Structure 1
Amino acid sequence: MHIPIGKTAEEAIQQFRNNDNSLHIIHQEPLDGGIILFKQKSSQENNSNLQMEYARKIIFGWKWAWGGGYSIGESSQFTSAMDYMSIPELSHISTPFPMLFGHILDPAIQRVTVEFEGNEKRVLAEAKLVEVGPESIIWFVSLPSSATIPYEIKGFNDKGELVTHKQMDDPNGMGSMVLEER
């Protein structure tokens, strides 16, 4: 497979994704010799979608390295508080993966953590929350390569109370989480 090189990270990703202009960049995060671009389709009602792409800086420019995304339609049975996706580590390329990311859809969630087994002990990773528009917040956390499944995603309110959680047993998993009944 030929992976094109671009003058910018965005150009490299556009070329790799065959110039798909249906997604627009909502956040850029420099990370590990490269940059992560978070992208989203606009004007999709009752739908949560997020794309994450990682491009690395190389001697001749930028090159797409890894990425993925999700689209989750809103169910009439419940209202999602947050959604998530896991991108696994690549064994042959230096990347900031595994990584979990998603949208916070309920303003009650003020903090997100991910717990996992790593080097024979339980580890807690704090997610970064970024406001990307009016009432729109994304979250993401890069995990060490020693992190092993299961991952436990936890959402907390402004009082530090656990309001949602989900155990992930699939390193390629995605889904939605609802607020727990009080």
Structure 2
Amino acid sequence: MSVDRVIHVLEMDRGVVVFHVKYSSTNKDRPIIQAEFVKKTYAGWKWVFGGGHSPIYNVKEDPVMEFGESWSAQYLPSTEGTEFGKSPFPMIFGMINNDEIDNIISINLNTEKEYTATIIKGDHDFYVWYVFIEGKEEDFKIIAKNMDGKVLSERNLKTENAVTREVLFNGGQ
């Protein structure tokens, strides 16, 4: 796992989830946001599972860019029962490139259960958000809101048969 910059380390039962960025050798201006679960073993740390994506970047430099393109999302499925073993996933995570977005909500479209994302703000020019979800692969609506609760953008996320991939979106504003 190559890492250019660690954004956040989240301690979990039996390991950590590391949010980090790396940069393509062909495009140093475009980060690839990663979330990786690494577990502690008797022999040291061992990578278990994770993934990443390169979001559209950078909305601050392109005023014509659609507001819905100023944030990204990716679904990481549960690894229980796979060759990867147990991890804290499923999880949805992404990057925010617009300071107006203050809140991300994921709604399970089958159960209508809402999950409020944790947003990691730091000394970087973007934010990282994540939310751990329960259950099996379901469809979600993901909503980006401002600090007043106004919906700025929303997308539908299809997770059926996901391995690890950037989500497929339909809809949006």
Pairwise same-fold verdict (TM > 0.5): yes
- Picking from 112, 118, 122, the partner of 1:122 is 112
Structure-1 residue corresponding to 2:8: 27
- Give TM-score, length-normalised by structure 2: 0.78
Q: Which consecutive segments of 4 or more residues in structure 1 shift more than 6 A?
A: 176-179
Query: Is this contact kept in 2: 1:48–1:73, CA < 8 A?
Result: no
- Give TM-score, length-normalised by structure 1: 0.74
Counterpart amino acid of 2:119? Answer: L
For residues 168 and 99 of structure 2, what CA distance do their matches in structure 1 show? 15
Structure-1 residue corresponding to 2:18: 37
Question: Residue 72 of structure 1 aligns to a residue in which SS?
Answer: coil
Which aligned pairs between 1:1-182 and structure 2 lie closer than 5 A?
17=1, 20=2, 23-42=4-23, 44-45=28-29, 47-74=30-57, 78-79=65-66, 80-92=69-81, 93-117=85-109, 121-144=111-134, 146-170=135-159, 171=162, 172-174=164-166, 180=173
For residues 55 and 96 of structure 2, what CA distance do their matches in structure 1 show? 13
Q: CA RMSD in A?
A: 2.7
Deviation at 1:49, TM superposition (A): 2.1
Deviation at 1:27, TM superposition (A): 1.3
Deviation at 1:134, TM superposition (A): 4.0
Deviation at 1:58, TM superposition (A): 2.2
* Number of residue equivalences: 157
Query: Is this contact kept in 2: 1:72–1:175, CA < 8 A?
Result: no
Q: Which runs of 5+ in 2 are unaligned?
A: none
For residues 25 and 102 of structure 1, what CA distance do their matches in structure 2 show? 15
For residues 142 and 33 of structure 2, what CA distance do their matches in structure 1 show? 18
Larger Rg belongs to: 1
Query: Is this contact kept in 2: 1:115–1:123, CA < 8 A?
Result: yes
Q: Deviations over 1:2-24 (max 9, x none)?
A: xxxxxxxxxxxxxxx3xx35x32
